[in-house]
Amino acid sequence: MISVNLKAVVDSEFLGLAIDEVNQSDLTDERIEAWTTELKSFIKYNYELFAHHLYELDKGLRHLVLHTAPIEVVDDMIRKLKRMMCHFIFRN
């Protein structure tokens, strides 16, 4: 039987890493490494995009920024917004 944590399903799409320790345990380490590399790349890209949005906001090229980010980087983003004295709303 396959067990899926419902929190890992968003809009009928599985978010996470599926591991088959019974039939393919020899691939687990490789899959975890590839998945974490992909996540790190996404987080880096997401933060660079956020920084670019703030640059445009500071230069008057935009008046509003709506940005979605992984929870792991939110504290850094809030610190940056406070340093820039930006008004912001955070929703979890």
Look at residue 13 in the predicted model and tell me its pLDDT: 73
Contacts of 80 (CB under 8 A, 6+ apart): 51, 54
The predicted pLDDT at position 70 comes to 77
pLDDT of res. 30: 92
> What's the token pair of residue 75?
């504290």
CA–CA distance from 66 to each of 39, 50, 58, 69 (Å)?
21, 9, 15, 10
Q: What is the DSSP string of 25-66?
A: GGGHHHHHHHHHHHHHHHHHHHHHHHHHHHHHHHTTS-S---
Amino acid in the structure at residue 19 = I
Ranges of residues in the chain whose predicted pLDDT is under 50? 1
For the full predicted model, state whether its pTM sits above 0.85.
Answer: no
pLDDT of 5: 52
| pLDDT value of residue 3 | 55
